[in-house]
């Protein structure tokens, strides 16, 4: 009889631990953030948002002077991200109020590779934190623009080496947004987008 009793007690402890973990991850806020979409645009085409970004590590600019077709100017652009965010209530029977508005104040970008080679500054660009301010209404959605690839990342390893070769580094950028509701509860959400880094043709 002892083994079944021990098993039952262990199972109960595991279930309690999982429940506590889920509660801790969900936070105290009565609402949670939702990433409706995550897109990005090359820095030289900042309004052309796409679901998969080809990030050009160097761009030959032909204007304004003295840049020209005959003597283009090698230029580094940062790349822009765009997220459409919304809120959802944990208890769907309760209508949201103005207290449930969430103000986003910062974000974190981390790059990973599917092959497991994820040493920052060697295999992938360094992760970084950024600041952004956006208040989401209790209902509906809002769009936030942010920097998803920094200028400096293209001037550091491993991206700077791509300027002089034809290699491509394929990464998944995980973007986490952080904020608080109007009574101070922490809220966060993570979205992902594929980014291929290389020296692509200029258009």
| pLDDT given at position 106 | 98
Give the pLDDT confidence of 85-123 residue by residue, as tens digits: 999 999 988 888 889 999 999 999 999 998 899 999 999
Using the predicted structure, report yes or no on whether residue 67 has a pLDDT greater than 60.
yes
Q: Mapping DSSP to helix (H, G, I), strand (E, B) and coil, where does residue 22 land? A: helix
Which is nearest to 102 in space by CA: 185, 164, 165, 19? 185
22 is a domain residue: no
Q: What is the pLDDT of residues 115-136, one digit of tens each?
A: 899 999 999 999 999 999 999 9
Report yes or no on 167 lying in a domain. Answer: yes
Distance (Å) of CA 93 to CA 30, 56, 105, 183: 12, 48, 29, 20
- Please tell me the total count of domains within the chain: 1
pTM over 0.95: no
Angle at 188 between CA 137 and CA 85, to 5 degrees: 40
Query: Domain of 50?
Result: 27-198
**Domain assignment present for 12:** no
Residue 99 in domain: yes
CATH (domain of 100): 2.60.40.10
pLDDT exceeds cutoff 70 at 49 = yes
> Per-residue confidence at 3, pLDDT binned at 50, 70, 90?
low
Q: Is residue 15 part of a domain?
A: no
Decide if 18 is inside a domain. Answer: no
User: Where is pLDDT greater, at 147 or 19?
Assistant: 147
Residue 166 lies in a domain: yes
Whether residue 64 is predicted with pLDDT greater than 60 in this model: the reply is: yes
In a domain, 13, yes or no: no
Count Cβ atoms below 10 Å from residue 109 Cβ, excluding itself.
Answer: 23
């Amino acid at each position: 009889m002892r083994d079944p009793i021990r098993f039952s007690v262990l199972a109960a402890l595991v279930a309690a631990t999982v429940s506590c973990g889920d509660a801790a991850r969900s936070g105290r806020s009565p609402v949670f953030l939702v990433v409706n979409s995550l897109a990005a645009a090359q820095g030289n085409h900042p309004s052309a948002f796409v679901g998969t970004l080809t990030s050009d590590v160097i761009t030959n600019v032909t204007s304004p002077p003295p840049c020209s077709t005959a003597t283009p100017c090698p230029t580094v652009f940062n790349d822009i991200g765009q997220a459409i965010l919304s809120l959802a209530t944990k208890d769907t029977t309760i209508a949201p109020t103005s207290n449930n508005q969430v103000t986003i104040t910062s974000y974190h970008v981390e790059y990973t590779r599917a092959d497991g080679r994820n040493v920052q500054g060697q295999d992938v660009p360094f992760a970084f934190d950024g600041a952004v301010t956006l208040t989401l209404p209790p209902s509906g959605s809002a769009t936030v623009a942010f920097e998803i690839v920094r200028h400096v990342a293209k001037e550091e390893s491993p991206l700077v080496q791509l300027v002089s070769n034809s290699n491509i580094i394929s990464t998944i950028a995980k973007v986490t947004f952080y904020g608080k509701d109007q009574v101070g509860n922490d809220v966060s959400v993570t979205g992902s987008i594929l980014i291929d880094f290389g020296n692509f043709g200029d258009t």
